[in-house]
């Protein structure tokens, strides 16, 4: 018999679970719309995969407005972005979304906009259980540094990446490819310093291939399809990746932990061998991601599921909340997988509809981020951060309107979210 003491955090209008890019955008948007918002984050900083996962590149951001533009504007002003070769630039040649970003700058900016908009952020607070009554979440049970708490809200937003809250609330989901149920690989990313002064980076696919061949010629064989070292905005530091972890399932802590151990060890050992290549003697791992980067987790079944046909035919919807232009990027699903990451998919710009943020099985919950409703191949396209931020912004707006007007997310007219996003500068 456990003696679990619970203290109450009280009643909020909206509780956002998870402080990745989607959760931050959801919380800030809802607060700016006047809602009383609590943001729960299990880690010690905001940004999720972008910051803790050290993935410093917001892709598919160039046709986005709103908070995506705000993030880039702030980081540009502080000289905390840098362009990648081959990326689109605006007509003045300025750095634009799609650039590499400084993860420390992003952490600061996320804290700042939460503080300024009045979002109550609680760190080290992990949602561990939900109490559901008549298909509605009544309250959350949260494990924190200081014991267990409960919190209540009118509307909850699941921005945990892996769809943990929706799962706890009994929502149906799926995960993995349609053939064998294999998930996209995980990666430990890192930041290295001490590259040779004339090193040019691996921005293009050809440069990545050449870099991989150079490593192989020195006996360094890595698990990642294409190893990379890409210049970061700060002086002489590089975003470095060599590792893939296979079959790390969102509902299996053993495989996730295994991915962390193997990923960090592979990264460290690769760098140690790399240093022995003439010219690379000063190479050094400055830090590695504290959280393993999970590309694919639960895809919760929503009122609309984004399908292969949608992305191949470039379908648009009246409740479209952003336009995805990024292609399918599956990566290797197992060690001996030699298939092209695009799997023959050529996407035509398509919409994420508001309905894919509305879970089928829970009435006062919205989804934001990579757990929204879509099939395997669409997910491998829309999951990049420009789009995930948009799902947060649209979800936060919808949640705030639902609170004001006493609506359930299912009753909210998604065309209003689409109109809001257009006003915010999203090209839809
Ligand atoms: C290795 C890798 C490389 C990638 N490369 C790129 C790239 O170059 N460009 C790009 O745009 N996208 C890239 N992506 C995809 C993109 O980074 C993610 O899809 C996106 O960041 C997901 O954002 P999110 O907010 O939905 O989730 P996450 O970033 O996963 O955030 C979820 C947050 O919720 C918190 N959380 C989880 N469970 C709980 C809980 N129970 N209670 C409280 N808090 C909780 C987590 O700590 C985390 O902060 C990459 C992904 C990976 C893994």
Query: pLDDT tens, 285-340?
Result: 999 999 899 999 999 999 999 999 999 999 999 999 999 999 999 988 988 888 87
The protein residue with its alpha carbon nearest to ligand 1, atom 53, reads 293
Residue 129 and residue 41 share a domain: yes
pLDDT at 155: 98
Residue 311 and residue 256 share a domain: no
pLDDT at 234: 84
Question: 205: which residues sit within 8 A by CB, 6+ positions away?
Answer: 226
Rg (CA), the chain: 21
**What is the C-alpha separation between 311 and 301, in angstroms, rounded?**
18
Determine whether the shortest distance from the Cβ of 384 to ligand 1 is under 6 A: yes
Question: 217: which residues sit within 8 A by CB, 6+ positions away?
Answer: none
Q: Does residue 401 lie within any of the structural domains?
A: yes
Determine whether the shortest distance from the Cβ of 87 to ligand 1 is under 6 A: no
| 173-220 tens-digit pLDDT | 999 999 999 999 999 999 999 999 988 888 888 899 999 999 999 999
pLDDT at 173: 98
End-to-end Cα spacing for the chain: 54
| 80-124 tens-digit pLDDT | 888 776 565 555 555 454 578 999 999 999 999 999 999 999 999
Which tokens in the block code for residue 282?
């000063």
**What's the CA-to-centroid distance between 245 and ligand 1, angstroms?**
16
Boundary-marking domain end, from 248, 264, 288: 288
**What is the C-alpha separation between 385 and 293, in angstroms, rounded?**
13
Average pLDDT over residues 245-264: 93
Determine whether the shortest distance from the Cβ of 298 to ligand 1 is under 6 A: no
pLDDT at 4: 80
CATH number for the domain that contains residue 155: 3.50.50.60
DSSP string, 325-392: --------SSTT--S-TTTT-----EEEEGGGGSBSS-TTEEE-STTSSB-HHHHHHHTSHHHHHHHH
Residue 109 and residue 223 share a domain: no
Nearest atom of ligand 1 to the alpha carbon of 189 = 1
**What is the C-alpha separation between 419 and 428, in angstroms, rounded?**
9
Instruction: Please name which of 97, 114, 88 lies closest in space to residue 19, comparing C-alpha atoms.
Output: 114
**What is the C-alpha separation between 322 and 306, in angstroms, rounded?**
13
In degrees, to the nearest 5, what angle opens at C-alpha 47 toward C-alphas 138 and 397? 50
**What's the CA-to-centroid distance between 91 and ligand 1, angstroms?**
31
Residue 271 and residue 232 share a domain: yes
**What's the CA-to-centroid distance between 188 and ligand 1, angstroms?**
13
Determine whether the shortest distance from the Cβ of 55 to ligand 1 is under 6 A: yes
Nearest atom of ligand 1 to the alpha carbon of 47 = 49
**What is the C-alpha separation between 293 and 241, in angstroms, rounded?**
11
The protein residue with its alpha carbon nearest to ligand 1, atom 12, reads 384
Q: Does residue 2 lie within any of the structural domains?
A: no
Q: Any idea what DSSP says for residue 183?
A: P
Nearest atom of ligand 1 to the alpha carbon of 370 = 26
Residue 212 and residue 135 share a domain: no
Q: How many CB atoms lie within 10 A of CB 106?
A: 23
The protein residue with its alpha carbon nearest to ligand 1, atom 20, reads 385
What percentage of the chain reaches a pLDDT higher than 90?
82
Confidence of residue 344 (pLDDT cuts 50, 70, 90): confident
Give the chain's largest Cα–Cα span.
Answer: 66
Residue 205 and residue 111 share a domain: no
Which residue is associated with the tokens 């912004």? 393
* Three-state DSSP state, 418: helix
Residue 150 and residue 129 share a domain: yes
Q: Any idea what DSSP says for residue 295?
A: S
**What is the C-alpha separation between 18 and 165, in angstroms, rounded?**
10
Contact, 386 vs 428, CB < 8 A?
Answer: no
Contact, 321 vs 288, CB < 8 A?
Answer: no
Q: Does residue 122 lie within any of the structural domains?
A: yes
**What is the C-alpha separation between 148 and 8, in angstroms, rounded?**
9
Output the CA–CA distances (angstroms, integers) from residue 398 to 118, 361, 367, 385, 410, in the order listed: 18, 18, 11, 20, 10
Residue 220: give the domain boundaries.
Answer: 190-288
Determine whether the shortest distance from the Cβ of 223 to ligand 1 is under 6 A: no
Average pLDDT, the chain: 93
Residue 308 and residue 273 share a domain: no
**What's the CA-to-centroid distance between 50 and ligand 1, angstroms?**
7
Q: Does residue 109 lie within any of the structural domains?
A: yes
Contact, 403 vs 155, CB < 8 A?
Answer: yes
Which tokens in the block code for residue 231?
């210049």
Q: At what angle do helices 66-77 and 21-32 cross, to 10 degrees?
A: 110
**What's the CA-to-centroid distance between 281 and ligand 1, angstroms?**
33
Domain tally for the chain? Answer: 2
Boundary-marking domain end, from 288, 316, 339: 288
Contact, 47 vs 94, CB < 8 A?
Answer: no
pLDDT at 44 over 90: yes
Q: How many CB atoms lie within 10 A of CB 128?
A: 14
**What's the CA-to-centroid distance between 1 and ligand 1, angstroms?**
36
Q: Does residue 98 lie within any of the structural domains?
A: yes
């Amino acid at each position: 018999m456990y003696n679990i003491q619970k203290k109450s955090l009280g009643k909020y209008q909206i509780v956002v679970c998870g402080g990745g890019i989607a959760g931050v955008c959801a919380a800030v948007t809802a607060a700016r719309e006047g809602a009383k918002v609590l943001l729960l984050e299990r880690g010690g900083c905001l940004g999720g995969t972008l910051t803790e996962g050290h993935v410093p590149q917001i892709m598919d951001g160039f046709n986005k407005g709103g908070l995506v533009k705000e993030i880039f504007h702030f980081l540009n002003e502080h000289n905390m972005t840098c362009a990648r070769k081959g990326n689109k630039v605006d007509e003045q040649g300025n750095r634009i979304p799609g650039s590499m970003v400084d993860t420390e700058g992003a952490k600061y900016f996320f804290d700042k906009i939460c503080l300024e908009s009045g979002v109550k952020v609680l760190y080290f607070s992990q949602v561990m259980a939900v109490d559901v009554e008549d298909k509605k979440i009544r309250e959350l049970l949260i494990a924190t540094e200081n014991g267990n708490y409960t919190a209540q809200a009118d509307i909850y937003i699941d921005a945990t990446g892996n769809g943990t809250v929706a799962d706890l609330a009994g929502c149906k989901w799926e995960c993995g490819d349609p053939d064998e149920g294999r998930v996209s690989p995980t990666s430990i990313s890192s930041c290295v310093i001490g590259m040779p002064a004339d090193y040019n980076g691996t921005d293009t696919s050809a440069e990545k291939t050449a870099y991989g061949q150079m490593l192989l010629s020195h006996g360094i064989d890595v698990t990642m399809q294409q190893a990379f070292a890409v210049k970061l905005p700060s002086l002489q530091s590089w975003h470095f990746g060599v590792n893939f972890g296979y079959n790390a399932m969102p509902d299996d802590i053993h495989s996730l932990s295994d991915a962390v151990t193997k990923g960090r060890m592979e990264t460290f050992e690769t760098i140690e061998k790399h240093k022995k290549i003439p010219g690379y003697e000063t190479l050094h791992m400055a830090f590695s991601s504290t959280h393993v980067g999970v590309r694919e987790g639960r895809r919760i079944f929503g009122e609309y599921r984004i399908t292969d046909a949608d992305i191949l035919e470039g379908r648009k919807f009246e409740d479209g909340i952003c336009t995805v232009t990024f292609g399918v990027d599956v990566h290797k699903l197992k060690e001996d997988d030699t298939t092209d990451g695009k799997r023959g998919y050529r996407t035509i710009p398509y919409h994420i509809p508001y309905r894919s943020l509305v879970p089928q099985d829970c009435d006062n919950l919205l989804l934001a981020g990579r757990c929204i409703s879509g099939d395997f191949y669409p997910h491998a396209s829309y999951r990049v951060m420009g789009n995930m931020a948009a799902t947060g912004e649209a979800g936060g707006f919808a949640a705030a309107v639902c609170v004001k007007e006493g609506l359930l997310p299912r009753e909210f007219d998604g065309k209003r979210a689409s109109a809001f996003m257009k006003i915010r500068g999203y090209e839809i």
